[in-house]
Amino acid sequence: MMQKLLLLLALSISSTGLLAQTNADSVRLDKFYYGSLEKVLDEITAEYGVHFVFDRPALAALRIEERPFNKPLIRFLEQICRPRDLKFMRLPDGSIRILGAYENPETDALTQKPFVRSGAKQKNITVAGLITDRASGEALPFVSVRVMNAPIGVTANVDGQFTLLHVPTDTSILLFTYVGYEPVLVFLSPEAPLMNLQVSMKSEATLQEVVVTAEKEELLKASEQVSMFKMTPAKLATLPSLGERDIFRSFQLMPGISAANEHTSGLYVRGGTPDQALTLYDGFTVYNVDHLFGFFSAFNSNSIKDVQLFKGVFDAKYGGRLSSVVEITGKDGNNRRFNAGGDLSLLSANVWLEQPFGEKFTTIVTARRSWKGPLYEKIFDRFSGESEQAAGPFGNRFGNAQVSSYFYDVNAKATWKPNKRDVYSLSFYNGADKLDNSITPQLPSGFGGGGGRLNLGITDLTTWGNTGASLKWSRKWSERLYSNSLISYSSYYSQRDRSSSGTFEQDGETQEIRRGTLENNLLKDFSAKTDWEWKFLPGHQLEFGASATQNDITYTYAQSDTATLLDRSTAGLTATTYVQDKASFFKEKLVVTPGIRATYFSPSGKMYYEPRANLSYKIGEHLKLKAATGLYYQFAKRVIREDVLSGSRDFWVLTDGDRLPVASSKQYVAGAAWENSQWLFDAEAYYKSLDGLTEYSLRFTPSGPGQFDYEENFYNGTGVSRGIDLLLQKKYGRFNGWVGYTLSDTRQNYPVYGGEFYASNDVTHEFKVTGLYHWRRWDFSATWIYASGKPYTAPEGGYQITLLDGTSRDFLNVSAKNAYRLPDYHRLDVAATYNFRFGKAPATFGISLFNLYNRANVWYKEFEIINNQVISTDVYYLGATPNLTLGVKLR
Amino acid sequence: MKNILFLLPALLFIAACEKTALTTATESVNRPVVEAYLVPGQIPAVRITYQLAFASSDTVVRPLEGLDVWVAADGQEHLLAYSSADSLYQADGSWQVEAGTTYQLHFEFNGATISAASTVPQKPQDFSASASTIALPQFSPGSGVPPSFPDPIELGWDNSDGAYYLVVVENLETDPEAIFEDNGNSDRPPRPVFRSEPEQTNTFQIGFQNFQYYGAHRVVLFKLNAEYASLYDDNGNSSQNLTAPYSNVTGGLGIFTGLNADTLMVEVTK
C-alpha cells in the first residue's frame, strides 16, 4: 500500500502548468531527441506546450534516441511507447497520460481509496469483469473476489471472468485475492464500469522487498474448500528442488499426500494410488505424470498458470477417479509483445517463447529436454540399478552399456479472444522418456564354441510418453450463465523390453533367441465435454454438464518371442452427465453443495450413479467447520503386476465389470479450519472404502495343475483407508511456511493373498516441515520429511515335503503379504535463490541440496535366490545431491 | 483457537474406528508346516514342523511339539498323541484310515486355528499290465551296435472320474545287477526307484529304458487328490518370478491329503 502511495506522489504533471494548453494533434516534431524519456517529454512540453502526466522515476529510467522527420506527435508517441511496454491516453483537459501497457486507468483509479466517498446511487447491484496479470495481460483463473464487510464472494472462472450478484451498493469495496499475487482492493463508485471491471493483479515482483500487509501473496492456499489446495507455479522456484521446479513434488509437501516416493511424481493421496488421481491439463486427461523413473513430473512449470488439487470428496463435475483431482491450467501467453526466457540446470535445459498476434491472439511454446549433466547421470545410474548398492539386473556382465537416455516435453497453446464473451484455445502437450540400459557384449573369442557362433545382446529399454491436445471454447452468455466446452485427445504409451536376445549360428542356419520381459501398453482417450454454470437464483449456483470418453487400451506381456502371457485389447465408451447446486444460506455462513453424477459405461452396459455432498459452516470470524461425502467410480484403471523379486510394475486396463470390476470408493471427510490474517490451522479426518481393486500376480496358480489361462491371474480385492491430516501454516511474513502431519492406516483385502494386509503405500506417520525466508535479494528454503517405513513382501523361508516315492521336494515360501516394513524414511532439502538482473533481464540463480545429511533411504529390496538361499539387497533412493539452476527472461 | 482443540478428539474418533491386527512378519515366518498322507488301513499320522526361516541360523528342520492336534472323521474328534521318537502326531492303534471318508485336521497355534481337510479316494479300479516280465539284454553304451529291445509294458486302469494318478516302480532286490554297464568312468548312483508325475490319465508306459536293474519290481499306482498334484507345480524359484507354494492347509503350509493305491509285480530278466 505504501508503495502505491509513493507511486501516486511520483506521478506529477509537468512543471509548465501555467502555459496555455496546445492541441496535441496539431504538433509535428522535427529534430533529434535523445536522453531519458522523462527529459524528452519535458523538452516537448517546453517546445510545444503539450502537457504530459507520467510516472517520473519510471520514465527517467528509459532512454531513447529518435529523429522524427516532421512526424505528428501522436505517431511519435505510438512509436516510442509500444516497444517499451507503455501506452498513452488523452485526458479530458487535453494533456496526455503515459502509462504501463497493462495498467487500466479506469480500474486503477478505483484501487486508490478516494478522499471523499460519494453517496451510493444504486443498491443490490451486479458487478462483473475480467481479472488479468499486470505483467503479461493474461487472464487469471479462479481468483477469489469478495465484498468487504458483506458475506458475498465468488471465484472467477477459468477464463478470469467473474460475476458478483447482490453487491449491497455501488460504493462497496471489493477484495481480489489470488495465490502468488498481491491482493487488490477496488473501491466502487457510481461512475465505475460496474459490468466491465478490468482488474489487473501484480505477481510478487522478485526484486521487491516483501511488505507485510493484511493480505499478502502466498505460495500455497489451503482450506478454501473441503480437502482442496491451490499453488502458484510462479513462486515454486523458491522451494528446494532437484533440477526442476515441480508442481507435483511441491504438492507432496502437503499433509495427506505422501512424500516418501522419490520413484514417482504421481500422487499417493490419502491411501490412494497415482492412477486414482485424475490429472487434467487444459481439460485433457494425462495418464502418466512421470519423467525419468518418476523423479520429475511430466509438467513444465513454465507453461502452467494455475493448479488446483482436490484430496478427495471432489465436486460432481469431476469423475472417473477414486482418489483425487489435479486441474492444471496452462498459460495463454503475453498478449502485448514477444517475450522469452529459459532455465538451465544440471539436469535439463528449458526455454519458453510468447508471441502475440494482435491483441486478441496469443501463443506460447515451452520446451525442455534433459541433457547428460552430472545430475541426470546420477539419477539414471541409481534408478537403473547400476550403483554400487544395487547390483545390476543381470549380475556381472561382459561389455559396456551403450547408454542413450533422455526425456523431453513440449507445450504449446494458442488462444483467441475475439470479443469479451468468447475465448477459444488450442492446447497441445507431448512428452516422452527413453531409458536405455542395453548392453552389447564383447565376448572373449571362442566363447560359445562347439562349432557354433554366438552373438548375444542384452536389451534393457523402457520408453513411455504422453500426447494430449484440447480445443476449448468458453462463452459468457450473460452475467449469470457461462459455459466451457471442449474436445480432446490423449494418448499414453509404455514399452518395456528387458530381455536377452541373440542369434545363434549352427550348421549354416541362424537361430534367434529372445527371453525376458516384454511389455507394451497403449492407451487412447477421445473426449468431448461441456460444463455450464448458471446463477439461477440468489444464493444458488447451478453447475451442470455432460461428457463422453472413448477409451481404447491394449496391453501385451510376454516372457519371450513365443510365450505371450497376456494380450488384451479393450475399448469402451463412458458417457456422463452431472448436476450440482452450490447453495448458500444465512448470509453465506452455511454453504451446501449437493450433486449427482450419472455415467453409462458400455463394456459393462450399466449405469453408475454417484451422489456427492459438500458442506461448510462458518462460526464467527475465524472458524469454519466442513464435511463432505461422496461415491466415486473408476472405469479405466492401472493394475499392478506384482513382482516380489525385481519390483512391481503396472499397466492401464479398461475394466469390464466382470473379471476386471469397475472400481468404486465411498468417502467421508469431516474437519475444521481456523484462520486469521497470519495463521491457518486446518484439520481433516477421512474414511475411505474402496472396492473393485485389481492386481496381477503370477505367484499363484489359479485353477490347479495343468494348463491355465493367464487372464485368470487378475485378482480382485477391497481396501479401507482412514486417517487425519493436520496443517499449521504461517501464511505471511519474511519467514513463512507450514508444518503438516498425517496419521493414516491403509489396508487392502485380497482373498488370494490370504485376507487383509497393509497396502504397499501405507505410511503410518508422515511429518513434513517447509520453511521459507526472504532476505534482501535472497530466498532461502528448507524442507524436512519424515515418514514411517512402507510394508513389503519378502521370501521368508523354506520347507521340505517327502513325496510318495520317498524323495523330497523343497519349497521356498513368501511371507504374508506386506508383513515386513522398510526402515523409516527421512531427508532434509535446502535451497537458496539469488534474484538479480542480467543486463536488463530479470534472472535468478539457485543452488539446492537434496538430502543434505545423506540419509540412505531404502527404496525397495531385491531378492535373488541362489541354491535355495535368499540374497537380499537394499536398493536406495538418492543420497546427498547438489544442483545449480540459472534462469533468465527477457522481461 | 480454543474451539479447534475441542474438535480434535472428535476427529480422532472418526478416524480411529476399530482396527484388527494383521499378520506380522514374525507370525508369518512361524507358520507351521504340515505333512500328512492318509492311507487306508494305516493309523492317521501328522508331521508338523517349523519352516526354515532365511533369517535364522537353523540348518535342520525343527519339529513343532506340544500341540493339541485333532483329526475329525464321521462326526468323531480324535486327539493325536505326540511321539518324539518319530516326531509325529499319531492316533491310537484302534483307529484306521478308511477309503471314502473325509478327515478334518485342526489345531491351535499362536492364537490362530490351523486347519485342513481331505477325502481318502477309493482304491484304483481294473489296474492291469500288458506283461508281467520283460527281457532286456545287458549292454554297454558306445560299445557298438545296440541290441534290439522289447516293447514297453502298458499299464492301464479305469479313470472314469478323472482323478489324478501317479506310478512308482521300485526294484525289490537287495543287491540288484545293472542292465547298462557303465564304462567305469561314471559314479552312477543306484536308482532302484522311478516314478511318473501326477496326471489325469488311465495309462502309463514303462519303457525298457526306465529299468536300470534286473530283478523283481513292484509297480504302485497311487490314486490322488488335486492337492497332492499341485505340489508338483513349478514354484518358479527363478528370479523371473517367485511363486507361493500351493498348500491346502489354512493358516499354515504343507499338505494334508488322502490317497489310495494298488500294486502289481513286474520281473526284468536277461
Give the model's pLDDT for residue A153: 82
Rounded to 5 degrees, what are φ and ψ at B226? -60, -30
Measure A680 CA to nearest chain B CA, in Å.
10
Question: Among A265, A300, A274, A250, which Cα is nearest to A429's?
Answer: A300
Determine contact, residues A763/A787, Cβ cutoff 8 Å.
yes
Q: Are strands B133-135 and B260-269 parallel, antiparallel or unpaired?
A: parallel
Cell numbers standing for residue A245: 521446479
Query: Which stretch of A745-754, B183-192, B256-265 has the lowest confidence by average pLDDT?
Result: B183-192
Instruction: Return the closest-CA partner of residue B48 out of B257, B252, B227, B258.
Output: B252
Residues A75 and A114 in one domain: no
What percent helix, strand, coil does chain A show, rounded to 5? 10, 55, 35
A464 assigned to some structural domain: no
Task: Look at residue B46 and tell me if it is in a domain.
Answer: yes
CA A50-A52-A57 angle, 5° bins: 145
Going across the sheet that includes A152-155, the strands are A152-155, A144-147, A173-177, A184-187
Q: Clarify whether residues B185 and B208 are in a common domain.
A: yes
Q: Residue B221 and residue A671: Cα distance in Å, rounded?
A: 69
**Both A491 and A379 in a single domain?**
yes
Cβ(A80)–Cβ(A52) under 8 Å? no
Identify whether B133 is part of a domain. yes
In sequence order, the 6+-apart residues with CB closer than 8 A to the CB of A614 are: A225, A226, A313, A315, A592, A593, A594, A595, A626, A627, A628
A270 occurs within a structural domain: yes
Minimal CA–CA distance to A655: which of A754, A555, A565, A579?
A555
- Pick the last residue of a domain from B96, B119, B142: B119
Residue A573 lies in a domain: yes
Written as nine digits, the cell of A293 is: 523413473
Q: Is A221 inside any structural domain?
A: no
Q: Which residues pair with A633 in a beta bridge?
A: A664
Phi, psi for A17 (deg, rounded to 5): -60, -20
Q: Based on the domain organization, do B49 and B152 belong to the same domain? A: no
> Domain for residue A338, yes or no?
yes
The enclosing H or E element of A861 equals strand A858-866
Strand B215-224 and strand B164-171: pairing? antiparallel
What is the sign, positive or negative, of the torsion defined by CA atoms of B188, B194, B196, B197? Answer: negative
Q: Which domain holds residue A710?
A: 229-458+475-500+528-889
Instruction: Identify whether residues B264 and B168 lie together within a single domain.
Output: yes
* Minimum distance, in Å, between the CA of residue B175 and any CA atom of chain A: 19
Q: Domain for residue A535, yes or no?
A: yes
Q: Cα distance from A14 to chain B (closest Cα, Å)?
A: 54
Q: Are residues B94 and B153 in the same domain?
A: no
CA distance A236 to A304: 11
CB B259 within 8 A of CB B119: no
Please check whether residues B198 and B172 belong to one and the same domain: yes
Of A101, A180, A172, nearest to A140 by C-alpha is A180
Three-state DSSP class for residue B22: coil
C-alpha torsion sign, points A131, A134, A136, A137: positive
For A95, half-sphere exposure in the C-beta direction (CA atoms, 13 angstrom radius) is 19
User: Quick one: B83 exposed, middle or buried, by C-beta within 10 A (0-12, 13-18, 19+)?
Assistant: exposed
Q: What pLDDT score does A49 carry?
A: 86
Segments of chain A scoring below 70 in pLDDT: 1-22, 102, 104-109, 114-118, 204-224, 232-238, 240-244, 373-375, 380-404, 439-457, 501-508, 510-514, 561-562, 643-648, 699-712, 865-869
Q: Quick one: A92 and A128 in the same domain?
A: no
- Is residue A185 within 8 Å of residue A196, measured between CB atoms? no
Distance CA B98, CA B43 (A): 10
Q: Which cell goes with A243?
A: 533440477
Q: What nine digits make up the cell of A116?
A: 471523499
Q: Which residue, of A101, A121, A153, is where some domain finishes?
A: A101
Residue located via cell numbers 490317497: B259
> At A763, which helix (H) or strand (E)?
none
Burial of B270 (0-12, 13-18, 19+ CB in 10 A): exposed
Contact A724 B231 (CB under 8 A): no
Return the CATH number at A162. 2.60.40.1120
What's the CATH number where A49 sits?
3.55.50
By Cβ distance, the residue of A625, A687, A701 closest to B15 is A687
Measure in Å the smallest separation between the Cα of B111 and chain A Cα atoms. 17
Same domain, B166 and B148: yes
Q: What is the CATH number of the domain that holds A654?
A: 2.40.170.20
Q: Which residues of A touch B255 (CB under 8 A)?
A: 801
How close does chain B come to A649, measured CA to CA in Å? 13
Per-residue model confidence (pLDDT) at position A457: 67
Beta bridge partners of A469: A428, A489
Q: Which chain A residues are Cβ-neighbours of B239 within 8 angstroms?
A: 645-646, 864-865
CB < 8 Å to A681, chain B: 1, 4
* A127 and A93 inside one domain: no
CB contact under 8 A, A722 and B15: yes
Residues 6+ apart with CB under 8 A from A144: A153, A154, A155, A156, A176, A177, A178, A224
Residue A770 amino acid letter = T
A359 and A441 belong to one structural domain: yes
* 3-state SS assignment for residue B132: coil
Rounded CA-CA distance B103/B259 in Å is 12
Q: Strand B253-258 and strand B32-38: pairing?
A: parallel
Identify the DSSP state of A547.
Answer: E
pLDDT at A182: 80
> How high is the pLDDT of residue A102?
67
Q: Check whether residue A329 and residue A447 sit in a common domain.
A: yes
Got the DSSP string for A432-484?
A: EEEEE--EE--PPTTTT-TT-EEEEEEEEEEEEEEEEEEEEEEEE-SSSEEEE
Whether residue A885 sits in one domain with residue A807: yes
Q: Which residues contact A593 (CB under 8 A, 6 or more apart)?
A: A315, A580, A581, A582, A583, A612, A613, A614, A615
Residues B113 and B168 in one domain: no
Q: Which residue has the cell 449491497?
A: A168
Task: Verify that A714 and A775 share a domain, yes or no.
Answer: yes
CB pairs under 8 A between A and B: 164
Contact criterion met (CB below 8 Å) for A292 and A408: no
- Whether B129 and B225 map to the same domain: the answer is yes
What is the distance between the alpha carbons of residues A675 and A890, in angstroms, rounded to a whole number? Answer: 39
Task: For residue A59, tell me if it sits in a domain.
Answer: yes
Name the residue among A516, A528, A376, A453 with its Cα closest to residue A881: A376
CB < 8 Å to A724, chain B: 11-12, 15
CATH value at residue B88: 2.60.40
Search chain A and give the residue with CA nearest B50: A799
B19: distance to nearest CA of chain A, Å?
A: 9
In whole angstroms, give the CA distance from residue A1 to residue A182: 10
Is A362 found in the same domain as A288? yes
Contacts of A648 in chain B (CB under 8 A): none
Q: Do A812 and B235 touch (CB under 8 A)?
A: yes
Q: Are residues B144 and B99 in the same domain?
A: no
Of residues A644, A706, A757, nearest to B242 (C-beta): A644
Is B242 a domain residue? no
In this structure, how many other beta carbons lie within 10 angstroms of the beta carbon of residue A675?
17
User: Residue A240: which of A847, A808, A719, A758 has the closest Cα?
Assistant: A847
- Domain-located, residue A509: no
Amino acid at position A713, single letter: N
The C-alpha atoms of residue A844 and residue A838 are separated, in whole angstroms, by 9
Rounded to the nearest 5°, which phi and psi values hold at A819? Answer: -80, -20
Listed residues B100, B119, B138: the one ending a domain: B119
- A169 and A96 in one domain? no
Overall domain count for chain B? 2
Residue at A33: amino acid letter = Y
Q: Which range marks the domain in which residue B136 is found?
A: 125-232+259-269
Contact A99, A54 (CB under 8 A): yes
Which of A101, A135, A154 is the C-terminal boundary of a domain?
A101
- For residues B142 and B212, state if they share a domain: yes
Residues B43 and B137 in one domain: no
User: Using CA atoms, how far apart are residues A51 and B138, in angstroms rounded to an integer?
Assistant: 127
Boundary of a domain, candidates A152, A186, A201: A201
| Beta pairing, strands A636-642 & A679-697 | parallel
Same domain, yes or no, for A532 and A438? yes
Same-domain pairing of B130 and B90: no
Q: What is the Cα–Cα distance from A726 to A683, expressed in whole angstroms? A: 5
B101-140 per-position pLDDT tens digit: 999 999 999 888 999 999 999 999 999 999 888 888 776 6
Q: Strand, coil or helix: what is A248?
A: helix
Question: Is B151 a domain residue?
Answer: yes
Write down the pLDDT at residue A118.
65
DSSP-derived secondary structure letter, B199? B
Q: Which of A725, A812, A822, A871 has the most B C-beta neighbours within 10 Å, making it the best mutation to test the interface with B? A: A812
Do residue B242 and residue A814 have CB atoms under 8 angstroms apart?
yes
Strands annotated E in A776-857: 778-787, 791-792, 795-802, 808-814, 820-821, 825-838, 841-850
> In the listed set B75, B96, B119, which residue is the last one of a domain according to the structure?
B119
How many domains does chain A fold into? Answer: 3
**Amino acid (one-letter) located at A843:** A
Instruction: Write the single-letter amino acid at A261.
Output: N
Whether residue B98 is contained in a domain is answered as yes
Instruction: Judge if A39 and A90 occupy the same domain.
Output: yes
Report ipTM for this prediction.
Answer: 0.83
Pick from A204, A199, A276: nearest CA to A238: A204
